[in-house]
Structure 1
Amino acid sequence: MEEAAAYVTGIGIVSPIGVGRKAFWSSLLANESGMGPITHFDPEGFDVKIAAECNGFDPRDFMDRKVIPRLDRFAQMGLASTRMALDDAGAWETLEGEPERTGLVMGSGLGGVATIEQTQATLDEKGPGRVNPFAVTKIMPNSAAANIGIQLGVQGPSTAGALACSCGTDSVGLGYDLIRRGDADMVICGATEATIAPVIVAGFIAMKAMSRRNDAPEEACRPYDADHAGFVIAEGAAVMILESAESVARRGAEPYAKITGVGRTTDAYHPNDPDPEGKGVLRSMQLALEEAGVAGERVGYINPHGTGTLAGDGPESRAMEAINPAVKVSGTKSTLGHSLGASGAIEAAICALAIGEQTVPPMRNHETLAEGCADLDYVVGEPRDAPDLEAAICENLGVGGHNASVVFERV
């Protein structure tokens, strides 16, 4: 095994199409949609009334009832995903035996938004004396990381990034960095987000970034399609257990895939829109491949940012074409929606599963190629067997111009 690689040995997911790796992967391959009407709040008066909610998630399945009210929903989903990932990896004994050698990276783009709104309402209606004493620790973006550490006894290095929509991919890269530097033998890494809240939905509506196809939510997000008109907001969380080669060998673990390269760049272009030439995202993929020592033609699958926006789809698709014009692409936000900071973590997990299962999952709603988009091998409708899949890339673009890419390889 490669000393510099980080091995993916466990996956835990909370998503709009299933909770847990098995349910999630089965629904993804079945091309099921997670889109539907907003139920987390009353969207009357909003131009957008659809989202991808994790309605199958019940925090009582994963934590003590006394813990639940002390955590915002995003932290609940992060803790639940971590427990599932440790179960999947069979790594509880490793965590409990050497907690100081277990690292933790848990990102979130926005943190406890619902708690901010609830706290403001309490302040307005009842005054400052009635504000919940846990309000600050529920709101802070590192709340998920902090509570995972507290609940599970993680004592190694920890961090909590908030790099907008590239946060999840960057978190996976940071986990790889901890393994590569020898700072930890095992890392719990991922991201979580629960921002289907009035202030965030209204803000994205004002940005004109969201699809308004309220009458057909399952068809609303259309990456690289001629009818693309924005994303569908979502919630979710994903956690991967990363281990060093030594830890994998010691435990006899069977990894899904290995991470061998990470690339990060900044567009320095615009607060909302990506670089129209896609230079930043292309360079992030090139840097990741360079670190991995992988040629572009070996990349058989890319799970892209793929939000279905006019500004993003064209430049991103042309960047993927520059990496490998024959690459298979599936933009899974068409199924899962856009969970902002968590999306890259979920999509990174999809890449690891695609390599482990030698199967590329499908995307929805791609019928006619949009003008300005590269004519790639978009995997639509049905999963694709990929017995020769050696390498995959997860790449994401963050609001503000942040780009992150991670290379996964077959073990």
Structure 2
Amino acid sequence: MENGRPEAYITGIGVVSPVGVGRKDFWSSLLANKSGAGPISLFDPDGFDVRIAAECNDFEPTDFMDRKVAARTDRFAQIGLASSKLALEDGDAWDTLNNDPERVGLILGSGIGGVTSMETTQATIDSKGPTRVNPFSVTKIMPNSAAAHVGIQLGVQGPSITGALACTCGTDMMALGFDLIRRGDADMVLCGASEASITPVIVAGFIAMRAMSRRNDDPEGACRPYDSNHSGFLIGEGCAMMLLESAESVERRGAEPYARITGVGRSTDAHNLTDPDPKGRGILRAMRLAVKASGLEEDQIDYINPHGTGTVAGDGPESQAMAQINPNAMVSATKSTLGHSLGASGAIETAICALALKEKTVPPMRNLDSLADGCADLDYVVNEPRDAPDLKAALCANLGVGGHNAAVVLERA
């Protein structure tokens, strides 16, 4: 603890993303403003009004698991297992896990879970009948299957939690990991969220909701947070897993942290199933709760990585809420680069905040040419990364379908 307040240190980061696999490739691509957007290849989108997405094209499951495990695992769980291995490697924590597995916890959430396997199982029933269903169908579909595979393959024996909270899931999983550390339930927690939902049913459903950008001829320009031409989100996929550790564990291992989590906040809009509160009261409350828990003042938040999906309903209220936290904070909405990975997005964006604090550099956002009506005129970091030698505190905030809100405050370690 610092000044009597709890904290959890981030000492390892593992990422599978549309712009790179592994922390180094991911971060360098972000700083280079490389877009992960392109045509959908995970299924045939012919006839769909939206035919673009941000896919993890560089991910190969058998780089991280044998073929038998891969065959029995949904894509979201494959990505989760790979990211967990990358985080352990990045944090040089294999020995700690092997020597004391009961003191290592696991939190791996997903907004939707094994939807690819759900859809392929239904297709098998329709085309070949129920007797031809894969015997691993249920264990591929269940939302906790990613956590189950990580636990089995890596030998994690501490507390294990899976959560599903739509687009707020990844942020809330970081909060749950923080809770395990501050309560002393674990010395180290593998923590994050995974999503692989670029499937016919999910894409068609979001099209029907009119939530997605239809810029099929311009995938890289499709997601436009806070821009006057914002027209909906770009669906993505991916995972970030982080090692969270107590101060005692960090000292014992001699680990070098990226950042520390010092505050979390949660709230519910109680307004609408799909649209956020039009005045941004829910997300503002979550952010304020996180800042208050950290012990900081709101004007000490230097950088915000927001939800920033590029939707008309969300961009204005969220940006106005950020303006009330700190109108001078730097803002970069990285879904413009990575797409919206639904339940995984908050975990990925927490990792971005941690890397920004460590490297004292704010990664850029794309596609903000002219500010939309109703959006706050903030210090948006666009197209080029920005050196930030005085960067000390960052805030990751997300909104979820259903009116869920979550925020995490990170500080320089």
Same fold (TM over 0.5): yes
Per-residue CA deviation, residues 292-328 of structure 1 (Å, 9 max, x unaligned), is 0011111110000000000000000000000001000
CA distance in 2 between counterparts of 1:285 and 1:75 reads 30
1:362 and 2:371 matched: no
Q: Secondary structure at the match of 1:165?
A: coil
CA distance in 1 between counterparts of 2:368 and 2:115 reads 32
CA distance in 2 between counterparts of 1:98 and 1:163 reads 31
Structure 2, gaps ≥5 residues long: none
| Residue 381 of structure 2, aligned match among 379, 396, 402 | 379
TM-superposed CA distance for 1:130, in Å, is 1.0
CA distance in 1 between counterparts of 2:316 and 2:296 reads 25
| Residue 202 of structure 1, aligned match among 193, 204, 225 | 204
Matching residue's letter, 2:8: A
Matching residue's letter, 1:132: N
CA distance in 1 between counterparts of 2:128 and 2:230 reads 44
Q: Secondary structure at the match of 2:68?
A: coil
- The answer for the alignment partner of 1:311 in structure 2 is 313
- 1:68-217 equivalences under 5 Å are 68-217=70-219
State the identity %. 73
CA distance in 2 between counterparts of 1:41 and 1:70 reads 20
Which stretches of structure 1, 4 residues or more, deviate above 3 A after TM superposition? none
Q: Secondary structure at the match of 1:268?
A: coil
Q: Secondary structure at the match of 1:369?
A: coil
1:231 and 2:233 matched: yes
- The answer for the alignment partner of 1:257 in structure 2 is 259
TM-superposed CA distance for 1:384, in Å, is 0.4
CA distance in 2 between counterparts of 1:250 and 1:206 reads 53
TM-superposed CA distance for 1:8, in Å, is 0.2
Per-residue CA deviation, residues 109-142 of structure 1 (Å, 9 max, x unaligned), is 0001110111001111111111111100000111
Matching residue's letter, 1:305: H
CA distance in 2 between counterparts of 1:289 and 1:116 reads 39
CA distance in 1 between counterparts of 2:247 and 2:99 reads 18
- The answer for the alignment partner of 1:17 in structure 2 is 19
- The answer for the alignment partner of 1:7 in structure 2 is 9
Q: Secondary structure at the match of 2:168?
A: helix
CA distance in 2 between counterparts of 1:297 and 1:88 reads 32
- The answer for the alignment partner of 1:48 in structure 2 is 50
Q: Secondary structure at the match of 1:351?
A: helix
- The answer for the alignment partner of 1:409 in structure 2 is 411
TM-superposed CA distance for 1:64, in Å, is 1.4
| Residue 243 of structure 2, aligned match among 226, 241, 244 | 241
TM-superposed CA distance for 1:143, in Å, is 0.6
CA distance in 2 between counterparts of 1:184 and 1:30 reads 37
CA distance in 1 between counterparts of 2:169 and 2:93 reads 25
1:60 and 2:32 matched: no
Per-residue CA deviation, residues 138-165 of structure 1 (Å, 9 max, x unaligned), is 0011110111001111111111000000
CA distance in 2 between counterparts of 1:127 and 1:33 reads 41
- The answer for the alignment partner of 2:390 in structure 1 is 388
Per-residue CA deviation, residues 64-120 of structure 1 (Å, 9 max, x unaligned), is 121000100000000000000000000011111111111100000000111011100
Matching residue's letter, 1:383: P
- The answer for the alignment partner of 2:352 in structure 1 is 350
Q: CA RMSD in A?
A: 0.7
1:277 and 2:282 matched: no
CA distance in 1 between counterparts of 2:95 and 2:303 reads 34
CA distance in 1 between counterparts of 2:6 and 2:91 reads 20
TM-superposed CA distance for 1:272, in Å, is 0.3
TM-superposed CA distance for 1:242, in Å, is 0.2
| Residue 302 of structure 1, aligned match among 301, 304, 307 | 304
CA distance in 2 between counterparts of 1:390 and 1:114 reads 40
Number of aligned residues: 411
TM-superposed CA distance for 1:168, in Å, is 0.3
Matching residue's letter, 2:348: I
Q: Secondary structure at the match of 1:66?
A: helix
Matching residue's letter, 1:223: P
Matching residue's letter, 1:6: A
TM-superposed CA distance for 1:14, in Å, is 0.3
CA distance in 1 between counterparts of 2:208 and 2:68 reads 38
Comparing 132-141 and 122-131, the one that deviates more: 122-131
